[in-house]
Amino acid sequence: MALAGCSPTGQESAHRVKTEPAALLQQAEQELAQLDAEANRAQWIYENYITTDTATLASEANLAFTQAAVRHATAAAKLDPTTLSPLDQRKLSVLLRNLILPAPSDEAKSQRLAELDIELNRLYSTGRFCMAPERCLSLPQLSTVMDQSRDPDELLQAWVGWRSIAPPMRPLFAEQVSLANEGAEELGFDDVGQMWRSQYDMPADQFAERVDALWLEVKPLYEALHCYVRGELGEVYGDEVVSQSEPIPAHLLGNMWAQQWSNVYDLVAPEDLPGPGYDLTLLLSEHGYDELKMVQQAERFFTSMGFAPLPDTFWQRSLFVEPQDRDVVCHASAWDLDNREDLRIKMCIQRTGEDFRVIHHELGHNIYQRAYQHQPFLFKESANDGFHEAIGDVISLSITPAYLKQIGLLEKEPPAESDIGLLLREAMEKVAFLPFGLLVDQWRWQVFSGEIAPSDYNQAWWDLRLEYQGVAPPVPRSELDFDPGAKYHVPTSVPYTRYFLAHLLQFQLFEALCKEAGHQGPIHRCTLYGSREAGEKLDAMLKLGLSQPWPQALALVTGEEQMSGQAMLNYFAPLKDWLNRQNAWAGRRCGW
């Protein structure tokens, strides 16, 4: 029997050292899984029914999860990883690095951080601008103006108007940065930006260098596209509006943030250039595609690759159409509410070709979420956050004429001479996005580090947009404005580098999966629709979740352990040659 005062044997002592840290991790996983599910449900209700009460409930649920995550991360930081199994060592690493806005241990400050998160989300989601006394528009409606109008005065009004919602966010955002930095410091990080960069299975500084190298790899392609688009817009609006030696005015590129330019394709494509030969929005209308049918077709894409259909609850509980009787967060998003099978999307679907692609993208998130549902809670995530975004985009790349023909939207594929038109439109969406995808977090990393002071928020934002994108505000901006706040991911604290990575990863994954599918011919004509072989290889990677470092997950599909921009360059190589010829023929001086 055990005697009081007797010490355990050496064997028992070693066993306790090994098992207690593992038990702490198990306890953390169990508690966080429960609180995460509760926070997900509260957030879902809030984003579908924006009221003071639902905001309070969401804030309280998020606060409970954040406080527990910080508490467990703080305890985990004191553990000796050498006493853990390799599996638990990875769990420990994930637990330490996966907070987005770490709350300070002080309860009042933690509560305040949760309140700021909800209030910034509310200010963005309920934003409206009145183009006229009887014409007050939400963001989706204002975005339609930016997409479709060709009147520079109307575009300017909508552009300036949406940004009028952001100035009240500025002091709240600055306070949020200060409190979150305090929480990050308690966990051993210099600031929140360093914590975000540490999530990529490499030192934070090394990751920043890798991101810069990826940008330099694809920058010449972007510069050729910028030069061409600026030249053509100058022909439309005149040199006094679009100077050929200056950055492009941000309101003329067909998107509220000038992050994608495909909506002005009709303005810049030469009249003699064989275009895609079809209008996907018109095709959807002609074939009776409503919001539900668009989602059903996206699901069929995945089932054609061998993935199981979505659960019945997906169709019962998702939001597909913007309600007319209440405010909702319209930004498209995919949800896994219980970390098992309660998958949903929330989206105010417009019956457009663009939203048809977005739906395929969002369901890619759901398919990924379900694939790793068997993993422990801490591994229920993508290999890195860029992978989650990339998977849906891989499917979006497959929405080619070949796919549209297979599902009956097109009678025949356009001839090969139409490829440049198709690639130009694609580049105005994918390539045009790259510098914006990079600069949002370049700005935030410098804000978190203190390199950008609150007094310089707006000027620094536009300095980066000029440096990376070559775009400029159409009217003078000042520090009375807070233009970063007019982009959803800033007030809602969603890291953005994931989208930059995804725009490169998608081509890398797509190229490899097309080879697996046995595709012959130009890669931009490939579709993965119907390929069980590609589906099996993709599923094997998705099932890993976050259980392995991302280079291993990437190698499972591509055979390579490094992210690269080369596959994107391969995809757009015919367009790059064409752009160079067009710019040389017109005698354009590229750059800004």
Residues serving a catalytic function are 331-332, 361-362, 365, 389, 489, 499
Put residue 273 in one of left, alpha, beta given phi > 0 → left and psi -120 to 50 → alpha: beta
Q: Looking at the DSSP assignment, which residues form a beta bridge with residue 499?
A: none
Sign of the torsion formed by the C-alpha atoms of 435, 437, 438 and 442: positive
- If you count DSSP H runs as helices and E runs as strands, how many of each does the chain have, helices first? 24, 6
Handedness of CA 397, 402, 406, 408 (dihedral sign): positive
- Sorted by sequence, the CB contacts under 8 Å of residue 9 that are 6+ apart come out as none
* Residue-by-residue DSSP string for 193-215: HHHHHTTSSS-HHHHHHHHHHHH
Helices 532-542 and 497-516 pack at an angle, to 10 degrees, of: 140
Contact 410, 283 (CB under 8 A): yes
Rounded Cα distance between 235 and 231, Å, is 7
| Contact status, residue 506 vs residue 474, Cβ threshold 8 Å | no
Residue 105: helix, strand or coil by DSSP? coil
Check residue 319 and report its DSSP letter: B
CA distances from 201 to 97, 98, 156, 258, 544 (A): 10, 12, 43, 32, 15
SS3 333: strand
Phi then psi dihedrals of residue 167, to 5 deg:
-50, -40
Q: Which residues contact 250 (CB under 8 A, 6 or more apart)?
A: 159, 257, 258, 465, 471, 472, 473, 474
- 254 Rama class: left (phi>0) / alpha (psi -120 to 50) / beta: left
